[in-house]
Structure 1
Amino acid sequence: MHIVSGVVGPDVIVFPTKLMLMPALAIAALWALRGSFDTSTATRAASVLFVALAFSWLGDGAGFFFPFLDDELPAMLLCFGLAHLAYILLFLRFLPRRAVPRWTLGYVVWWVLMVAVLWPSLGTLAIAVALYGLVLGGTAVAATRGGAITTAGGAFFLASDTILALRLFLPDQTGLLAGPWVMLTYTIGQGLLAYGIVRLLREEPR
């Protein structure tokens, strides 16, 4: 509903439906995890997942939650940065199921290219965005430790942030569908991450 309304309207429901995305995902994850909190490890891991979703929610509505700021972008970057750090902690500390594959070196190439392309347009945000890019790539890499589902989720999340960065800093070179593509890849990425994490937690020995 959110993505369709962003393309064809009505515009009045675009922002409200955006603010419903992460709460809906959190409720779905909580429902799917019922009966899976018999160990302290599972409880802590689930808590970190909900922290990641909460910060993502704040990032989605940065302009609404932080109206006292002249520019919502720093708040959005901070909130999503904290969400990504929560995901990284989750996969490195609680849900490592396999080693990081060698192909993830491709994410290093992604970071170098993105910094090179965006740098002339970043101004005073250059260092912050470069560091933020490291965190984004870190989530994509860390997510590979959870399995194929979370690997795909991390890749889609990274794709969303990549499109968003191009849209924010190179607006003259993005198409009309940039916004919908940001949200489509974002919702798929978050959904796959949450689904993969829930599956891993439900497989935990209890």
Structure 2
Amino acid sequence: MPKTFTPYLVLCAVHLVLLETGPDWSITATKALLMPLLALGVVLAARRARPEPLETPWLLLAAIGLSWAGDVALSFPGMFVVGLGAFLLAHVAYISVFVRMPGGRRRPPAWTLVYVVWFAGFIALLGPHTGALLVPVALYGLVLGLMATFAAAHGRVMAIGGALFVVSDSVLGLGRFLPGYEFAPLGFDLHDLTVMGTYLAAQLLISLGVLAALRAAARSSRAPGRPVGATAP
């Protein structure tokens, strides 16, 4: 892992501890700094790689920036729809990253059909309790599942990142919409820790996977006798 992500990892650890110890203002403040530090790590790592195509790192940064907007919005009461919209656009940006990456037209593995089952269960379980938000929540779930499916086409690291994003948002949705969720086994005392832990890991793994693919493509394009932009067989 590039050392450029060390500040992000340190702040992730601090934020996760604060989720259990407070105070609330420190949780909000550290959450607002997480995605900027991830973006900084991406920028510094991408500068070394000189990746092709050049627009891919910018799309990755756009996805991280939209995620930051969603983080900030969800930190305040009454901003759920704004946060949902920001994350919806973030997932669209991630999908754009995946299809523009070297080998971006790969077919997702067969196991990603599990996301079809997940989406059906997601709507069946939460749909009756979403009220006027049914359509936006369903649209969000569809785009989230597509993002995870496209991510899985680029290897294990990104597949795990996409899956963790689904886990994070699924737990968040349960806490938001499912009646009686707070009385479920575990309480769910670890709700916030689970949501943020899986989310932060997902963002990091996706970023690392994209950067690794771009570095590999850059090395291949600079190899003797190989045309610029060509990929390894």
Q: Please indicate, yes or no, whether the TM-score normalized by the shorter chain is above 0.5.
A: yes
Q: Which residue of 1 aligns with 2:155?
A: 147
Gaps of 5+ in 1: none
| Contact 1:97-1:147 at 8 Å conserved across structures | no
Q: Indicate if the aligned counterparts of 2:126 and 2:177 stay in contact, CA closer than 8 A.
A: yes
Counterpart for residue 119 of structure 2: 111
Amino acid at match of 2:206: L
Distance in 2 (CA, whole Å) between partners of 1:193 and 1:79 is: 18
Q: Give the TM-score, by structure 1 length.
A: 0.91
Partner of 1:200: 213
Runs of 4+ in 1 over 6 A off after TM superposition: none
Hey, what's the Cα distance between the residues in 1 that align with 2:57 and 2:16? 28
Aligned pair count reads 200
Shift of 1:171: 5.7
The verdict on how the C-alpha distance between 1:36 and 1:192 changes in structure 2, with shifts beyond 3 A counting, is same
Q: Where do 1:42-191 residues align within 5 Å?
A: 43-62=54-73, 71-95=78-102, 96=104, 98-170=106-178, 172-174=180-182, 175-191=188-204
Once the two structures are overlaid, the 10-residue window that deviates more, 150-159 or 93-102, is 93-102
SS state at 2:107 partner = coil
| SS of 2:48 mapped into structure 1 | coil
Moved more, 106-115 or 28-37: 28-37
Bigger radius of gyration, 1 or 2? Answer: 2
Contact 1:92 1:145 in 2 (8 A): no
The reply to whether residue 3 of structure 1 matches residue 16 of structure 2 is yes
Other structure's SS at 1:34 match:
helix
Name which of 45, 57, 63 aligns with 1:32: 45
Runs of 5+ consecutive residues of structure 2 not aligned to the other structure:
1-13, 183-187, 223-233
Letter in 1 for 2:26: I
> CA shift at 1:195, angstroms?
0.7
Separation in 1 of the partners of 2:85 and 2:158?
A: 23
1:38 CA displacement = 5.8
TM-score (norm 2): 0.81
> Which residue identity does 1:73 align to in structure 2?
F
Q: Deviations over 1:83-126 (max 9, x none)?
A: 00011111123342742111111100000001000011100000
Between the aligned residues of both structures, percent identity stands at 40
2:226 counterpart residue number: none
More helix by share: 1
Contact map agreement 2:165 2:202 (CA 8 A) in 1: yes
Shift of residue 143, structure 1, vs aligned partner: 0.1
